Amino acid sequence: MRGQYLASRPLSLARFAARVDAERLIDGFQLHPCALDRLAQEALARQVMDLAQDAPFHSPEVPGGRRMSVAITGLGPLSWTSDAAGYRYTATHPLTGRPWPAIPPVLLDLWRRLAPGAPEPDACLVNLYRDGARMGLHQDRNEQDLSVPVLSVSLGDKALFRIGGPSRKDATRSVWLSSGDVVVLGGPARMAFHGVDRVVAGSSTVVPGGGRLNLTLRRAR
Ligand SMILES: O=C(O)CCC(=O)C(=O)O
**108-145 pLDDT per residue, tens:** 999 999 999 999 999 999 999 999 999 999 999 999 99
Q: Whose CA is nearest to atom 1 of ligand 1?
A: 214
Whether the Cβ atoms of residue 12 and residue 177 lie closer than 8 Å to each other: no
pLDDT score, position 23? 64
First to last CA, the chain: 28
| Percentage above 70 pLDDT, the chain | 89
Atom of ligand 1 nearest to the CA of 154: 3
Q: Whose CA is nearest to atom 3 of ligand 1?
A: 214
Work out the average pLDDT over 18-35: 80
To test the pocket of ligand 1, the residue of 125, 134, 135, 146 to mutate (highest count of ligand atoms within 8 Å of its CB) is 135
Q: Whose CA is nearest to atom 9 of ligand 1?
A: 216
To test the pocket of ligand 1, the residue of 59, 72, 152 to mutate (highest count of ligand atoms within 8 Å of its CB) is 152
More confident residue, 2 or 37: 37
The answer, as to whether pTM is greater than 0.85, is yes
Question: Which protein residues touch ligand 1 with a CB less than 6 Å away?
Answer: 125, 127, 135, 140, 152, 154, 159, 161, 194, 196, 214, 216
What is the distance in A from the centroid of ligand 1 to the CA of 162?
A: 10
Q: Whose CA is nearest to atom 2 of ligand 1?
A: 214
pLDDT score, position 24? 66
Q: Whose CA is nearest to atom 7 of ligand 1?
A: 195
Atom of ligand 1 nearest to the CA of 125: 9
Instruction: State the pLDDT confidence band at 8, using cuts at 50, 70 and 90.
Output: very low
Atom of ligand 1 nearest to the CA of 216: 9
Q: What are the CA-CA distances from residue 131 to residues 39, 106, 158, 216 (Å)?
A: 25, 28, 14, 21
pLDDT score, position 9? 53
Atom of ligand 1 nearest to the CA of 159: 3
Q: Which domains does the chain have, with CATH numbers?
A: 13-218 (2.60.120.590)
Determine the Cα–Cα distance for residues 79 and 23; give it in Å rounded to an integer. 28
pLDDT score, position 157? 98
pLDDT score, position 26? 82
